[in-house]
Structure 1
Amino acid sequence: MIIDSAISIIAVSILSVAILDIWQRLSHRVGGLPPTDWAIVGRWLRASIEQRKLFNHPLQAMPAYPNELLIGWMLHYLVGFFYVVLYVILWKTFGILSPTWADGLIFGVLSVAVPWFFFLPAMGAGIMGRKTPQPGTACLSVLAVHSVFGVAIGLLLRWI
């Protein structure tokens, strides 16, 4: 039973993050919204570990690290895994969520706090992307992909 649950969580994690990525690519093709640059995320992680600080890295001016794109993608899927684990804990332990599209949407909308208030500032884009050329678009783009991600988690947990 525990192994089945672990395999299910891993499967839901991979599939829900893949759905997020597909949505982001479609949004880029249809609406011109730039997808996340996972190389810069990998560069941020390496710089954060080496310099022992999370913020204020001149990421655009820094030379590329070897394998930073792979590192960024791995971090992306690892973070997705932790989101799914949190969803399962909120569902199975606390009964706060259930595996439905509606609860998934609520979870996705609430989960946007992490990129708005941690990852965007850590990447140098400011809180809620205020240092980007189009802060409103950046905020809405992150909200959209996290909403899709949350719905995917809710539906996949129901299905798997």
Structure 2
Amino acid sequence: MGFVATGVLMGLAGTAAMDVWAQLLHRAFGQPLPNWAMPGRWFGHLAKGQVFHDDIGAAEPIKGELGLGWALHYGVGVLYGLIWAVLAGAGWLAAPTFLPVWIFALLTIAAGWFLLMPGMGLGWAGSRLDLPWIVRAKGLLAHTVFGLGMWGAALAVA
């Protein structure tokens, strides 16, 4: 399997693993599920040239924002999978190990912390939220699960 197909598969598997993780936390502990409509709304406004909002919930709704949010979620996951496949190269893809992909997966949280969250009015790394450190810890754990999903897909292909 080539770099592109492997990268796409890794991104899809990592993102799906995050979604399964969210479902498990929801069912076991009542944690709310992600509302992908708000990132969809943010992305819809981004396409119109507006990056930052004081409160994305107060911004004008975007037609199809929930579907747009899900597409953004999986599209970014696939993009990360493709980037990792190129960065890691054929050697890692032939014999995938967890540590490098885990570090990469943890680094990908930077886009959420420093673009998406402030763009939606949540502050840098969620600093405007009631419990920003809890949100950050949960994000790092979710990105660990993303890395596990990517690694699992790479192992399956190798």
Both structures adopt the same fold (TM-score exceeding 0.5): yes
Percent identity between the two aligned chains: 30
My pick for the range that moved more, 41-50 or 53-62, is: 53-62
Q: 1:122 aligns with which of 114, 119, 137?
A: 119
In structure 2, do the counterparts of structure 1 residues 60 and 40 end up closer, same or farther at CA, with 3 Å as the change threshold? same
CA contact (8 A) 1:108 1:149 kept: yes
Give the CA deviation at 1:121: 1.1
Task: Provide the rounded CA distance (Å) in 2 between the counterparts of 1:42 and 1:81.
Answer: 17
The equivalent of 1:152 in structure 2 is 149
Query: Which of the residues 62, 68, 75 maps onto 2:59?
Result: 62
| Residues 110 and 94 of structure 1, relative CA distance in 2, 3 Å threshold | farther
SS of the aligned residue for 1:60 comes to helix
Q: How does 1:42-61 map to 2 (within 5 A)?
A: 42-50=40-48, 52-56=49-53, 58-61=55-58
In 2, Cα distance between equivalents of 1:131 and 1:151: 29
Q: Is the 8 A contact 2:7 2:81 kept in 1?
A: yes
| Separation in structure 1 between the aligned mates of residue 30 and residue 127 of structure 2, nearest angstrom | 19
The 3 A distance-change label for structure 1 pair 130 and 72 is same
Q: Which has the higher contact order (CA 8 A, sep 6+)?
A: 2
TM-score by length of 2: 0.86
Q: Could you tell me how far apart the structure 2 residues matched to 1:158 and 1:61 are?
A: 44
**Alignment length (residue pairs):** 155
Runs of 4+ in structure 1 displaced over 6 angstroms? none
What CA deviation, in whole Å up to 9, does each residue of 1:67-101 have, x standing for no partner?
Answer: 11000000111100110011111111797xx6222
Could you list the runs of 5+ residues in structure 1 that have no partner in the other structure? Answer: none
Cα distance change of structure 1 residues 26 and 74 upon mapping to structure 2, 3 Å threshold: same
TM-score (norm 1): 0.85
Q: Which of 85, 97, 103 is the aligned partner of 2:100? A: 103
Which ranges of structure 2 fall in alignment gaps of 5 or more residues?
none
